Amino acid sequence: MNAPMNSRSKVVEAIDVHKSFGPLEVLKGINLAVRKGEVVCLLGPSGSGKSTFLRCINHLERMTQGRILVDGQLIGYHERGGALDEMSGRELAVQRRDIGMVFQRFNLFAHQNVLTNISQAPILNRGQSKDAAVARAKELLKMVDLEGREQAYPNQLSGGQQQRVAIARALAMDPKLMLFDEPTSALDPELVGEVLGVMRKLAADGMTMIVVTHEMAFARDVADRVVFMDQGVVVEEGPARDVIDNPQHERTRAFLKRMH
Amino acid sequence: MSAQKIIPARHWGQRLVAVFLIAIVAFAIYMVATSRHISWSTIPQYIFDETILDGIRLTILFTVLSMVISIVAGAILATMRLASNPVLSSFASLYIWFFRGTPLLVQIIFWFNIQLFIPSIDLGFLQMDTNVVVTAFVAALLALSLNEAAYMAEIIRGGLLAIDDGQNEAAKALGYTPAQAMIRIIFPQALRVIIPPIGNQTISMLKTTSLVSVVAAQDLLTRAQNIYARNFLIIELLIVASLWYLLMTTIATALQYMIEQHFGRSSRQPVGSWRAALRVLRAEGTKG
Ligand SMILES: Nc1ncnc2c1ncn2[C@@H]1O[C@H](COP(=O)(O)OP(=O)(O)OP(=O)(O)O)[C@@H](O)[C@H]1O
Ligand SMILES: [Mg+2]
């Protein structure tokens, strides 16, 4: 956490990102840089555009203006003579292989068992042999504390277990960056801890992470930086403890007060 | 304390109706069985008649071919209908509207008479009389398939829409290409929604094929008609045909039941591929 950030390369660089749904402007010029190994938590009230911004990073959402680079690569577009040409579905797929994403509602593939959920993408799209992918899947399952559950189907698992499988599934692609969109919001309170535990482990292992969350204790302990968003703009950002314990902006203060 | 005897409510109304129904059915059976106008002895003689058996083969061929063609065409139409391009989706909507909105019988007769407005087919290197290409068989198959495709498109579209969008998003986020997401994630799950109605359509198609007898397409009903045109054993041959239709739909229903059982059981352990359906069919085949 105390390593000199500036000496590390930028994994994510978002420049002036705008997004509108019809007449509604949801993102009004977001700038954000995330360095290698950094954990950034996105905070903000409901509807402030956190999910939308996260989904722009892997181009699940098409932004209306601005640009996002992941590992120096422009996401979603080819730059051709001043214009941005949107990539084809196949090209987007190739870019997304380096960006893991964990959803609020897990979204495990309902017709596949845990092992297939985790190992299919690396076999199809990373050229891994079946044996290698299965061995790696078992390793990851151990990491998320689900050893021996290879044959279970998603509907046989608790929410917390499903989310841990979802994390393992994303990690199986060896992403350079992990995006989490409220990974514990759909969980019963007693299951939140096991998922946050896995995320702490990941952070400690040096994974670059952007986490949308309402878990203030997690943000305070684990994040290197927090970014507070409201109504489509970044209101305040800084080291996690500074912002959470001593917010400078009125809107941040009001939000944090409601969270406690 | 001694147990009191429990007497369930007696439904007198239902009993009365039941008695009435038994009387009607008994009377109908008596009427048919004792009728001097039906020569029962001729039925066994025609049931395995070579002509009838040929007709059955063609009826099954029509059913299988038109179902296969309509499933492929229906999948394409469903994908078009869900496409973001307005021309593609409008074309699919128009197709479905037209083919579901006009009677199948009219469509069969239309295809059979297509040469009236397209007398010859000219492909540059190849010129042919339309009559030579569009035989009764081809006209019947075209009509059944194109009509069924409209219904299939709606069934498949319903199946695709039933899958939570999160499944597609997760596949995208993992770097599946759109084709991979469709083939590996969406379609296998949609299959479980689609299979029961496809089964119903297939059973229905077994009987619907009899409509092609209007263009004498040599299906089971056409053959029965051909025979009774010569010997006037109309009721007898209709009974023969009906017995065969009943047998075919009964077998098809049993098959459907087994496939659905298999996929139903899989609500805990989903299978999600045609291989599973084929495995059931093969397993049952070796048992029988
Ligand atoms: N597909 C969409 N079409 C139209 N409006 C949308 C769409 N997705 C999001 N919005 C709108 O964009 C705004 C921002 O939504 P977003 O989901 O990014 O907020 P959020 O910060 O993630 O909120 P929450 O904490 O509730 O998840 C909201 O007003 C929402 O209604
Ligand atoms: Mg959200």
Interface ipTM > 0.90: yes
In the predicted structure, residue A201 carries a pLDDT above the cut 60? yes
In the predicted structure, residue A95 carries a pLDDT above the cut 90? yes
In this prediction, residue B281 carries a pLDDT of: 52
Cβ–Cβ contacts within 10 Å for residue B136, how many? 19
Q: Do B172 and A153 touch (CB under 8 A)?
A: no
Q: Do A99 and B173 touch (CB under 8 A)?
A: yes
In the predicted structure, residue A215 carries a pLDDT above the cut 90? yes
| Per-residue pLDDT tens over the stretch B195-205 | 999 999 999 99
Supply the Cα-derived Rg of chain B in whole angstroms: 25
Bridge-based pairing state of the strands B120-122 and B127-129: antiparallel
CA distance B210 to chain A (A): 39
Could you list the beta-strand ranges (E) of B3-107: none
Bridge-based pairing state of the strands A65-70 and A10-21: antiparallel
Supply the Cα-derived Rg of chain A in whole angstroms: 18
The CA distance from A114 to B269, in Å, is 11
In this prediction, residue B2 carries a pLDDT of: 66
Cβ atoms of residues B144 and B208 within 8 Å: yes
Minimum CA distance residue for ligand 1 atom 25: A46
Q: Do B177 and A105 touch (CB under 8 A)?
A: no
DSSP H helices in chain A = 50-57, 89-96, 114-125, 130-143, 159-171, 189-204, 216-222, 240-245, 250-259
Cβ atoms of residues B62 and B209 within 8 Å: yes
Please give the residue of chain A at the shortest CA–CA distance from B176: A93
Structure tokens at B21: 């129904």
The CA distance from A125 to B180, in Å, is 10
CB of A184 sitting under 6 A from ligand 1:
no
Mean of the per-residue pLDDT values for chain A?
Answer: 94
A101 has a chain B CB within 8 A of its CB: yes
In eight-state DSSP terms, residue A7 is G
Distance (Å) from CA B87 to ligand 1 centroid: 30
Distance (Å) from CA A48 to ligand 1 centroid: 7
Helix axes B274-287, B234-265, angle to 10 degrees: 120
CA distance B270 to chain A (A): 5
| Per-residue pLDDT tens over the stretch B87-106 | 999 999 999 999 999 999 99
CB of A23 sitting under 6 A from ligand 1:
no
| Per-residue pLDDT tens over the stretch B231-240 | 999 999 999 9
Distance (Å) from CA A53 to ligand 2 centroid: 9
CA distance A256 to chain B (A): 30
| Per-residue pLDDT tens over the stretch B158-185 | 999 999 999 999 999 999 999 999 999 9
Q: Is A228 exposed, middle or buried (0-12, 13-18, 19+ CB in 10 A)?
A: buried
| Stated pTM of the model | 0.81
Confidence of residue B38 (pLDDT cuts 50, 70, 90): confident
Cβ atoms of residues B211 and B105 within 8 Å: yes
How many residues would you count in chain B?
Answer: 288
